[in-house]
Amino acid sequence: MKSTIDKFQQIVNNLLDDESKKPMAQFIASENLYAEVDLALSKTGIAEDKFEAALNDLVLKTPRTATNAFFNQLFGGRNETAVLGDLLAVILNNSMYTYKAAGPQVGVEKIILREVCNIIGWGEGADGTFAPGGSLTNFMSMVMARDAANKAAPYEGVTQKMTVYTSKESHYSIPKNAAFSGLGRDQVRYVPSDKLGRLDLKSLELMIEEDIQNGFKPIMVNLTAGTTVLGAFDPVGEVRAIGDKYGLWLHLDGAYCGSVIFSQKYKHLVEGIAHVDSFSFNAHKMIGTPLSCSIIVVKDKGNLHSSFSNDASYLYQTDHDEFNLGKTSLQCGRRNDALKFWALWKRVGTDGLEKIVDHQFYLADVARDYIRAHQDYELYSYDESISICFNYKGIPARDICTLLYEYSELLVGYGSYEADEFIRLVTINAQNSEQDILDFFKTMEGFVASHEHLFTPALTQNP
């Protein structure tokens, strides 16, 4: 094993050296992939030196998500302390279902969940769990909403037409999860959003009333803290009254920007969070841990137990349920996603997490200020969002993004809101500096200027 760790170090050092010279891996078109990278598997295996060469080559040709050229959705950077925690989780290789198999790692997970509940303002009645991604923490919330609305649902199945409300700007996992949970995609109601991309409360209530009149049973409102395109925050506090009036489960999907709970300056964006029934966030997005680190917390842990616990005498042989995390998780065998987050939190404290979050908003301000100060740009995003949406010289956003990718210059995505399509720069990598953001614009502008022939139609239409 020790020599394997040496090998690992060598491969990583190669990558780090190469990254410091070239922040982008060379673009490989998917149709050329198997010709350009040796991925073939054989019956007999290969010699050690060939194996190492193949690994090195694969690593060097893989897109680089930790550099200052990566602004694609919605993660980035390489937080060293969190990486160390994750590497140790791989070496330890515990499964998180029981105390017997994971020991103190159970405490690592529990203490994170406890602290998150404390920050929200939830007492001992609250708890949570980790799942393999924000789509699946959202799934867990929908299952709990279904079971809370009808205790018989986990046994009899869904026998009523239950409806779920979410803004049309919310994540696509909501309709997927409606299919998975037996509610059905057709039972998802897409509530219009206002000018700032936030769920519109008046429309929400009208849609609920209409559904009730038509014999549906509304069960849940899904709110978003950081919509996928604009990074908008739905009005969390104001929805509770509607939730109470109609007996609805409120979930706050904070996969993208729920980590604002750690910031004194920005937690007002999720004001009223204590009044939702469940809240999820991805530490692998704003906090910058390695993928994936997805957390859901629930105000009343009874809901977690009633929807996710199954007795299994072969598994739960010792210790109190409270330490057998498998009782409240989606999975059976489960990777330790908590240690990377715990390592970072332990090292930098809650104040350090706050700095990480605040720095991203600062970088977003730098980008917005730059765009506002330069007349070749049009800005579509609002303050207090880390998604900077803009167009440059009227060139179609998808053309710029695709060519920057194919010429191995920058990785950045595009999105749309209503009729507009635009480049979406996300300032989620807290390791970037102000200069890195300014360099992004410089690189993009330089690329457009020196490849004018590729953009000619747009440039001549929009001089």
Ligand X SMILES: *Cc1c(COP(=O)(O)O)cnc(C)c1O
Residue 155 or 172: which CB sits closer to ligand X? 172
- Contact call for residue 74 and ligand X (CB under 6 A): yes
- Give the per-residue SS3 of the chain: CHHHHHHHHHHHHHHHHHHHHCCCCCCCCHHHHHHHCCCCCCCCCCCHHHHHHHHHHHHHCCCCCCCCCEECCCCCCCCHHHHHHHHHHHHHCCCCCCHHHHCHHHHHHHHHHHHHHHHHCCCCCCEEEEECCHHHHHHHHHHHHHHHHCCCHHHHCCCCCEEEEEECCCCCHHHHHHHHCCCCHHHEEEECECCCCCECHHHHHHHHHHHHHCCCEEEEEEEEECCCCCCCECCHHHHHHHHHHHCCEEEEEECCCHHHHHCCCCHHHHCCHHHCCEEEEEHHHHHCCCCCCEEEEECCHHHHHHHHCCCCCCCCCCCCHHHCHHHHCCCCCCCCCHHHHHHHHHHHHHHHHHHHHHHHHHHHHHHHHHHHHCCCEEECCCCCCCEEEEEECCCCHHHHHHHHHHCCCCEEEEEEECCEEEEEEECCCCCCCHHHHHHHHHHHHHHHHHCHHHHHHHHHHCC
In the list 94, 173, 289, 391, the residue contacting ligand X (rule: CB under 6 A) is 173
C-alpha span between 204 and 228 (Å, rounded): 20
Beta carbon of residue 444, minimum distance to ligand X (angstroms, whole number) = 24
Beta carbon of residue 346, minimum distance to ligand X (angstroms, whole number) = 23
Residue 23 or 133: which CB sits closer to ligand X? 133
Beta carbon of residue 53, minimum distance to ligand X (angstroms, whole number) = 33
- Contact call for residue 282 and ligand X (CB under 6 A): yes
Residue 98 or 170: which CB sits closer to ligand X? 170
Residue 166 or 324: which CB sits closer to ligand X? 166
Beta carbon of residue 172, minimum distance to ligand X (angstroms, whole number) = 8
Binding mask 109-148 for ligand X (x = CB under 6 A): ------------------------xxx--x----------
Write down the residue that tokens 């791989």 correspond to.
Answer: 90
In the list 64, 94, 128, 171, the residue contacting ligand X (rule: CB under 6 A) is 171
β-pair partners for 165? 189, 221
Residue 79 or 138: which CB sits closer to ligand X? 138
Residue 99 or 256: which CB sits closer to ligand X? 256
Beta carbon of residue 412, minimum distance to ligand X (angstroms, whole number) = 16
Applying CB under 6 A, the site for ligand X has a residue count of: 16
C-alpha span between 226 and 31 (Å, rounded): 35
C-beta nearest to ligand X: residue = 134
Beta carbon of residue 28, minimum distance to ligand X (angstroms, whole number) = 24
- Contact call for residue 231 and ligand X (CB under 6 A): no
C-alpha span between 60 and 235 (Å, rounded): 44
Beta carbon of residue 43, minimum distance to ligand X (angstroms, whole number) = 36
- Contact call for residue 255 and ligand X (CB under 6 A): yes
Beta carbon of residue 239, minimum distance to ligand X (angstroms, whole number) = 16
Beta carbon of residue 231, minimum distance to ligand X (angstroms, whole number) = 9
Residue 171 or 334: which CB sits closer to ligand X? 171
Residue 66 or 444: which CB sits closer to ligand X? 66
Looking at 36-44, 148-156, 253-261, 329-337, which segment touches ligand X (CB under 6 A)?
Answer: 253-261
Beta strands at 377-379 and 294-298: parallel, antiparallel or unpaired: unpaired
Write down the residue that tokens 């700032």 correspond to.
Answer: 196
Residue 187 or 294: which CB sits closer to ligand X? 294
Binding mask 206-225 for ligand X (x = CB under 6 A): ------------------x-
Residue 75 or 342: which CB sits closer to ligand X? 75
Question: Before 313, cis peptide (omega within 30)?
Answer: no
In the list 259, 292, 385, 391, the residue contacting ligand X (rule: CB under 6 A) is 292
Binding mask 19-58 for ligand X (x = CB under 6 A): ----------------------------------------
- Contact call for residue 256 and ligand X (CB under 6 A): yes
In the list 72, 129, 167, 294, the residue contacting ligand X (rule: CB under 6 A) is 294
Beta carbon of residue 16, minimum distance to ligand X (angstroms, whole number) = 26
At 208, the amino acid letter reads: I
Residue 335 or 393: which CB sits closer to ligand X? 335
- Contact call for residue 198 and ligand X (CB under 6 A): no
Task: Report the interface residues with ligand X, using CB under 6 A.
Answer: 74, 133-135, 138, 171, 173, 224, 226, 228, 253, 255-256, 282, 292, 294
